[in-house]
Structure 1
Amino acid sequence: MRLRLVYLLLLLAPALLGSCGADPSPAPYLDFLSEGSLLTNTRATTPGDTFRTRVFAEARDTSRSPKLRRFTIGVQYSLRLDNQSARVEESERLYLDTLVSGRRNSFLFTNRLKTVDISGRETWTYSVEDADGQTTRRRYVLSVRQSDSLLTWLSYSAQLEPSVRRTSISALATSRGLALPAHAADAAGFQELIDLVYVPNGAGPTLASPTATVAETAPNLKVRGWGTRRNTGLQLTALTPTGFNQINSDVAISAAVTAAGNRVSALRVQKDQVLAFRTADNKDGLLLVREVGTVSPIVLVVDVKVIR
Structure 2
Amino acid sequence: MRFCPAFLLLFPICLTACEPALEPGPRVSFVGSSRFNPASRRITAAGDTIAVKVFAEAGKDDAPLTHLVIKAHYQPRARPLIYTTTYEEGEDSLSFRLTYLDTLIQNANEFAFQSVQPARTTAGKETWTYTFTDSEGKNGVRSLYLRLGRTDSAAAYHSYTVPLQAPGAFGRRSFLALREGLALPSFSLRTLPDNQKLVDLVYVPGSTTINPGLATTTDAGLKLPWVGRATELYRTPLTASAFTNYATTEDLTNIVTQYQNQRFTPTTRTGPLTKDQVIAFRTPDNKYGLLLVQDIITTGIRTLVLQVRITK
Q: Are 1:210 and 2:217 matched, yes or no?
A: yes
The letter for the 1-side match of 2:283 is T
The letter for the 1-side match of 2:66 is R
The 10-residue stretch of structure 1 (201-210 or 251-260) with the greater mean CA deviation from structure 2: 201-210
Paired residues of 1:236 and 1:273 also in contact (CA < 8 A): no
Paired residues of 1:117 and 1:146 also in contact (CA < 8 A): no
Paired residues of 2:76 and 2:96 also in contact (CA < 8 A): no
Show the counterpart of 2:41. Answer: 43
CA distance in 1, matches of 2:139, 2:81: 37
CA distance in 1, matches of 2:127, 2:211: 37
Q: How does 1:1-308 map to 2 (within 5 A)?
A: 25-46=23-44, 47-61=46-60, 64-79=61-76, 81-85=80-84, 86=87, 88-100=93-105, 102-186=106-190, 187-201=192-206, 204-216=211-223, 223-224=224-225, 226=226, 229-262=228-261, 263=263, 264-268=267-271, 269-295=273-299, 297-308=301-312
How many residues of Structure 1 are paired with residues of Structure 2 in the alignment? 276
Show the counterpart of 1:16. Answer: none
CA distance in 2, matches of 1:116, 1:107: 27
CA distance in 1, matches of 2:65, 2:99: 19
Q: TM-score, normalised by structure 1?
A: 0.82
CA distance in 2, matches of 1:156, 1:215: 26
The 10-residue stretch of structure 1 (34-43 or 46-55) with the greater mean CA deviation from structure 2: 34-43
The 10-residue stretch of structure 1 (238-247 or 298-307) with the greater mean CA deviation from structure 2: 238-247
SS for the counterpart of 2:108 is coil
Show the counterpart of 1:219. Answer: none
CA distance in 2, matches of 1:151, 1:215: 35
SS for the counterpart of 1:39 is coil
Q: Percent identity?
A: 33
Q: Deviations over 1:80-113 (max 9, x none)?
A: 644133354345321101122x422111111211
Change (3 A) 1:65 1:29: farther
SS for the counterpart of 1:267 is coil
CA distance in 2, matches of 1:297, 1:32: 25
Show the counterpart of 2:18. Answer: none
Q: Deviations over 1:108-134 (max 9, x none)?
A: 111211222112221211011112211
Change (3 A) 1:253 1:91: closer
Q: TM-score, normalised by structure 2?
A: 0.81
For residue 166 of structure 1, report the CA deviation from its aligned partner.
4.9
The 10-residue stretch of structure 1 (49-58 or 258-267) with the greater mean CA deviation from structure 2: 258-267
Query: Root-mean-square deviation (CA), in Å?
Result: 2.2
CA distance in 1, matches of 2:282, 2:175: 16
Q: Deviations over 1:10-59 (max 9, x none)?
A: xxx9xxxxxxxxx9642111110111252222233233222111100112
CA distance in 1, matches of 2:234, 2:179: 18
SS for the counterpart of 1:103 is strand
What residue ranges of structure 1 are gaps of 5+ in the alignment?
Answer: 1-12, 14-22, 217-222
For residue 204 of structure 1, report the CA deviation from its aligned partner.
4.2
SS for the counterpart of 2:188 is helix
Paired residues of 1:238 and 1:260 also in contact (CA < 8 A): no
CA distance in 2, matches of 1:193, 1:236: 23
Q: Deviations over 1:163-183 (max 9, x none)?
A: 223521011111222111111
